[in-house]
Chains A and B, each alone.
Chain A
């Protein structure tokens, strides 16, 4: 507590105010520590008020007859240099600071509980264990029971694999019997000769299918595309490849770098829409997913902290991840947590494509093949290597102008890779 302030303490078990009955000192008086300076009256009694500190009375902040709240400064002192009690008080001034920074003294009134702690939603701990039963809240269980849906046969699309009402309704078919999984379509009658072959969707395929279904269902995606002259980018790539023959440096690596730079400039695209909490999560870091085709299906290994990597680093990391993805050597942790994804559809020989967003990210960049095409330069038609970039974006997270601006940025960096040096 400040050495020059005398506050009205709680004078008896939770009283909130008191009346100054009589001042026993005047401005200018010298007082010693513990000297009685006033008589105050509470709801219970009239008591004396001793000053905790020595000094000269500089000001009285309440008049006789005033009702004063507990904790109010009622008297201010100027310091008295040669008082031993003042020295004591200073020595003892290891005040226990309360969470709001003020001194916490015993008995300083009611309502001095802890200051507010919550500053918004706190981190939710992951569920402790997988229960033996399907995760469904009671209303959902009832719905399943009423519709004759077997919860055991469903995969939940909600958080933590929770089964939602939609999951149950989706599984319920008219005429389905109770207890039967209703997920399959009714079989076609057999024709002689051609028979349908059924393939169970399980494992990785099932997960991919579910993931894409969620993305398709939930995200209102729009897209925009742009064609770029890749000649400058290819020239830079060639030069770098000569200087670093040990690294497999593809044009994709330069596109990735351009993407990362553009994400820093238009960070709305490095985000996720959390439908459950109705919040947009702006990611602090760029973890770039790079869609990779494997025998088992489309996997998206993640280049961690792509923003902190050079082009060469990106290239070698992508090469490593792709190799491990194809040989099924990736750890599960390397396949999750991307904040933005790039899909190199051009690797399959197509000009472009509208990729499905990697839920719950805000955008995905499709990169087409680099093909030699007619291109206009200074009003003349020339042949240039042209690449089409397509951006699919979550229209809830950003609008068309922002998305276009982002895509334009990437295009600029592809066409003029020298600009990359500025970042």
Chain B
């Protein structure tokens, strides 16, 4: 199982002093020969469209929660570039292991957002078939999905298949034991797994500076014997390029990679949180000026790839999508309580069948 027992040279694993950035916060593009972008014009516009849609549906989801249609919702506002850019680099056969904030990744993978929103609505605990979109279930327990991704990638490795597992994590997750174990397993077994950490600066109220003493999260990678990459997570082009490099490395038998995308969580941790208690407006203002969609729009306009009409079209399409999501979620029926017993095991046990009958009788009595 262990392919390459040699000890890597640490200097090849340490991250650069600065995160890779191709598009600065004003929208100025600086090409980097080490990080060439091979995206077509159509793909660049697609990136923009996906980010606008992600933002719009995200905003709609917050609103739905404020209207009592979702129990809670974790917003990705501000992280669109990190999610859409990185997901755009994935091959169709690659698998994503998300946490609970990856709506942008899901949209880029072609998923119907309502499949994730039903979890927040409390309809079911998981509302999609992971095998259909190669997208794991929303995972609430922090960092535990990293082990699933590592194990999945170990399976890929055993088969010699062409597939990468990508696990999305937050900065807080890097403190959890399971993430440490997953990084270690993945490295020891050369598993084709990319650990994509969106460092959005906060784990609820805990700033990343107090979450870890490491110089950067990417610096943790050397401790496991894997390379650590850094990118400006508000730069969709850098996010795409760095993720693509990481996937190449992993897919090519080089083993796992840790990527840290620096970004910012513009909204609260979830709709149940009050961020005004631990951060102030000046910080928000600072990051607002580094908005990922604004800067990309500037870039695209400079390139004459979009104009006012296209911006409007994209905005309207996004609004229409958001409305469709709203219509689908609003007052949607709840799950069937009798299904509670169906999937505990492959076949319900006699005890479960009896309990199901008991609930059925209660429900029948209620209607009488």
Contact = CB atoms under 8 A, between A and B. Distances in A.
Note whether A and B contact each other (Cβ less than 8 A): yes
Interface of A: 1, 7, 9-13, 33-34, 44-52, 85, 88-89, 91-96, 99, 103-108, 114-115, 117, 122
Looking at chain A's contact residues, is the secondary structure mostly helix, strand, loop, or mixed? loop
A34 B60 contact: yes
B70 interface: yes
B323 interface: yes
Interface stretch (B36-44, B270-278, B287-295, B338-346): B270-278
A106 B122 contact: yes
Nearest to B322: A34
Contact of B331 (A7, A34, A92, A122): A92
Given A106-B70, A107-B71, 16 more contacts: A1-B331, A11-B272, A12-B72, A13-B72, A34-B60, A44-B272, A45-B272, A47-B271, A52-B67, A52-B330, A88-B326, A88-B330, A91-B327, A92-B327, A95-B331, A106-B122
A119 B64 CA distance: 37
B333 interface: yes
A275 B38 CA distance: 88
Contact of A7 (B68, B72, B333, B366): B68
A34 B326 CA distance: 10
B139 interface: no
B334 A47 contact: no
A44 B271 CA distance: 10
Contacts, number: 87
Nearest to A93: B331
A115 B323 CA distance: 33
Contact of A117 (B60, B122, B332, B366): B366
Looking at chain B's contact residues, is the secondary structure mostly helix, strand, loop, or mixed? loop
Nearest to A88: B327
B271 A9 contact: no
B365 to A, nearest CB: 6
A12 B270 CA distance: 9
A51 B65 CA distance: 11
A10 B334 contact: no
Contacts of B265: none
B333 A117 contact: no
A83 to B, nearest CB: 12
Interface in B291-342: 323, 326-328, 330-334
Given A7-B68, A108-B68, A45 B274 contact: yes
A49 B327 contact: no
B71 A106 contact: yes
Given A12-B271, A92-B331, A103-B331, A50 B122 contact: no
A45 to B, nearest CB: 3
Contact of A99 (B66, B67, B274, B366): B366
Interface in B148-199: none
Contacts of B266: none
Contacts of A47: 66, 271
B69 interface: yes
B49 interface: no
Nearest to B361: A122
A325 B296 CA distance: 96
Nearest to A12: B272
B121, B122, B328, B366 — most chain A CB neighbours (10 Å): B366
B57 to A, nearest CB: 13
A49 B66 contact: yes
B268 interface: yes
Given A49-B66, A50-B67, A96-B333, A13 B272 contact: yes
23 contacts: A1-B331, A11-B66, A11-B271, A12-B271, A12-B272, A13-B272, A34-B60, A45-B277, A46-B276, A52-B67, A52-B330, A85-B323, A88-B327, A92-B331, A94-B331, A94-B333, A96-B332, A99-B366, A103-B331, A107-B71, A114-B366, A115-B366, A122-B365
Interface in B57-90: 60, 63, 65-72
A304 B118 CA distance: 55
Contacts of A104: 334
B129 interface: no
B66 A44 contact: no
A85 B319 CA distance: 12
Given A9-B68, A50-B67, A44 B273 contact: yes
A380 to B, nearest CB: 62
B273 A105 contact: no
Interface in B90-112: none
Interface string B252-279: 0000000000000000100111101100
Contacts of A44: 272-274
B72 A96 contact: no
Contacts of A49: 66
Contacts of A122: 365
Nearest to A6: B67
B65 A45 contact: no
B362 interface: yes
B151 to A, nearest CB: 32
A11, A48, A52, A93 — most chain B CB neighbours (10 Å): A52
Contact of B276 (A1, A45, A85, A115): A45
A48 B334 CA distance: 26
B273 A45 contact: yes
B323 A88 contact: yes
A50, A51, A91 — most chain B CB neighbours (10 Å): A50
Contacts of B328: 92
Interface in B101-149: 121-122
Contacts of B272: 11-13, 44-45
Contacts of B271: 11-12, 47
Nearest to A89: B330
A359 B125 CA distance: 56
Contacts of A52: 67, 69, 330
B268 A48 contact: no
Contacts of B365: 117, 122
A11 B270 CA distance: 11
A11 B69 CA distance: 10
Nearest to A104: B334
A105 B327 contact: no
Contacts of A34: 60, 63, 67, 326
Nearest to A8: B68
